[in-house]
Amino acid sequence: MIRGKVRRSQMVAPFGPGAMHVLSDGTSVVTAGLDHWFPRGDDRNQEEFRIHEWRLEQHLGVDALYSPPDYRTRSENGVNTGLTVPVLRFPTWGFCPRCRKLAKDRLHQENRPACKEHESSGRKPFFAQVPFVAICERGHLQDFPWFEWTHRSASPSCRGHRLSLRSSGGGTLASQRVSCSCNATRTLEGITSTRSSAESGPSTFLSEELEPGGPAYLCRGGAPWLGIDREGETCGSPLRGSLRGAANVYYSLLKSSIFVPEVAASTADPKVLAALQDGAIVQARHRTAVFLDKGEALPVPMLRKAAQGNAFLLEDFSDEEIARALAVLQQSESGASETEEPGSAQDPAPFRATEYQTLRGAIESEELVVREPRGQYAPSVASAFARVRLVEKLRETRVLWGFNRVFAESPYDDASRKALLRRTPARPGGNWLPAYAVSGEGIYLELDTALLGAWEERRAVLAQAELLTQRFSDLAEQRGLTKRELSPRFILLHTLAHLLINQLTYECGYSSASLRERLYVSPGPDGMAGILIYTAAGDSEGTLGGLVRMGEPGRLEVVLENALAHAAWCSSDPVCIESKGQGPGSCNLAACHGCALLPETACEEYNRFLDRALVVGGLGKSELGFFATN
């Protein structure tokens, strides 16, 4: 029986459906699709795991968000016991550590297979799973084609012969050799490489060289996490070999949201509003909404009936109170849908407009507490920032809506990424995605847009931003991605957030992986120009108020001044400050591991689009830096 323990949050990222990971007993597995996460039964109550985040539900077009189930052997009412997230053994190929025989087993194999070649010795060694798999950019995953690669043919004639995998002791793929008892042999050199030609376009060494001189060996469309093995049915994409633990095998696609109450203030009873925003009642509201015309009020008796076993949450309120609160919620939701556009992975600003407006003020609710600082800031902060807000409490919800392979970004549409999570489309009313919510705190900073506007109009600044835009355009053209216009405002705020996070790790003791950035950027004199630096972790770290305290007057000035001073000189200067392209895809200018880069979990842009010259100025180019002249 394959069993292992994984934190619930890790089942959203990085070990969501389609991801490979190794259990404590050394078994490599792939997480099954969402179809099998919550088995039906009288002792199952999926609503217990409901996370209500109204903005993300609307944005992603789903009926609900659920956290991964926790495993329990017993409960008070006997409900939801024994729930697990299923996994399947993958790769299915393994080799005997004693005789090096290669053999394929079943995807649903529960027990570790043993090598039968050593039955006479009395101790049969267990097969060790091979360290190689094959992936394609469309998101498919399959076993490495051992027979085909060894025999240099897509349809080898000696499938019944014995394969073996041996290593000559070197540290490269050329030292790994697979052989067949028919005397065919071949090393694994080059299986992870790519190649490109003017005639065939981008391809891979595995696809082009598996059968030299023959047709390209393309991806078979395998999806073992869904129990699918489409042998012989190609998806049309080049196939690439990879180590099973390589970073490019799985990139989680996450969307996150800072919880904003649906109604900040209204004439309705807060207790009624709270009951109507309970997860079970929200689902009942959504179920009944499909039977109503647009703008039609939801009848209270219909809502009570749809709530079924959860109708007791509304028992203490009259129909008139509930109807009044429903009208307030309906007005709030329709207003949000008119002012808040869906946004996209490239431009999340429209979706974050509601958060931006909320964080600029002061609010105190159950899930979000924002207050103005007590006292005045010194000129070093007051002259550059129009607003500083202390976020004493926040709740962030992170949702897995798909994944990529090979590259973190792909040219494929969102629907195809979301379809990778399930074997069959979700039934009406059952369209849900895995999510988890974490609490934390943060500091919100907003630059003075008047000063920012004047700085953005400088020719040197525009030329510097255009250089990064061109760098990404070249990368986007190579990979078929959507091109982006990177504004000086965006690069400035993004780099400033990195510099402040790096400094806060020294000032308040958090690790850089515990802090995250959230950018609020849009063009124009009235556009957004804010950053939220926050901590939101699944454990107790980030809930003690240490980060908020660093945002108080008298402390924030020290953090900012030290961050700018450290950014003025990097240990890699002058090479770093004069760089015309470095980092992932050469999409950074003056930014390296010695000055501005962060752990991948802390950055929204994969450590790209950074340039500290736009923050503090370059060598002999003080006009570039926003803080060099302000």
Range with lowest mean pLDDT among 89-93, 117-121, 401-405:
117-121
Report which of 605, 229, 551 is spatially closest to residue 385, judged by C-alpha positions: 551
CA distances for 161 relative to 24, 143, 156, 186, 564, angstroms: 34, 18, 11, 15, 66
Q: Do β-strands 432-447 and 64-66 pair in parallel, antiparallel, or remain unpaired?
A: parallel
> Do residues 489 and 557 lie in contact, with contact meaning Cβ atoms separated by under 8 Å?
no
Among 72-81, 299-308, 610-619, the range with the most confident prediction by mean pLDDT is 610-619
pLDDT digits (tens, 9 = 90+) for 535-561: 976 554 445 678 999 999 999 999 999
Question: 461 is written with which tokens?
Answer: 């600044």
Average pLDDT over residues 309-329: 84
Range 178-204 average pLDDT: 84
- Dihedral over alpha carbons 537, 543, 546, 551 (to 10 degrees): 80
Give me the pLDDT at residue 336, please: 47
Name the percent of the chain lying above pLDDT 90. 56
Portion of the chain with pLDDT greater than 70, in percent = 91
What are the tokens at 203?
């391809």
> Half-sphere exposure (CA, 13 Å, Cβ side) for 65?
24
Lowest mean pLDDT among 112-126, 194-208, 396-410: 194-208
Q: For residue 428, is the peptide bond before it cis, meaning its omega torsion is within 30 degrees of 0? A: no
Q: Report d(CA 251, CA 274) in Å as an integer.
A: 36
* β 363-364/385-404 pair status: unpaired
Residues 628, 616 contacting (CB under 8 angstroms): yes
Count of Cβ atoms closer than 10 Å to residue 200 Cβ: 12
pLDDT for 269 beyond 90: no
Q: Is 450 helix (H, G, I), strand (E, B) or coil?
A: helix
pTM: 0.86
Lowest mean pLDDT among 46-55, 178-187, 563-572: 46-55
Omega of the bond leading into 584 within 30 degrees of 0 (cis)? no
Mean pLDDT of 341-345: 49
Q: What is the pLDDT of residue 544?
A: 63
Going by C-alpha positions, the residue among 282, 396, 262 that lies closest to residue 336 is: 262
Please report, to the nearest 10 degrees, the dihedral formed by the alpha carbons of residues 479, 481, 487, 489 taken in order: -100
Distances (CA, A) of 487 to 470, 494, 531, 533: 12, 11, 15, 21
pLDDT of residue 198: 47
**ω into residue 270 within 30 of 0, thus cis?**
no
Closest CA to 434 of 143, 19, 134: 19
User: pLDDT tens across 212-259, in order?
Assistant: 988 999 998 999 999 886 555 678 899 999 999 999 999 999 999 998
Check residue 308 and give left, alpha or beta (phi > 0: left; psi -120 to 50: alpha).
left
Strand arrangement, sheet containing 101-104 = 128-129, 93-95, 101-104, 163-167, 176-180, 185-187
CB 603 within 8 A of CB 588: no
Residue 325 pLDDT: 84
Q: Which pLDDT score is estimated for 263?
A: 58
Tens of pLDDT, residue by residue over 141-169, are 999 999 999 999 988 888 777 899 999 88
| Backbone phi and psi for residue 131, each to the nearest 5 degrees, phi listed first | -90, 5
pLDDT for residue 342: 47
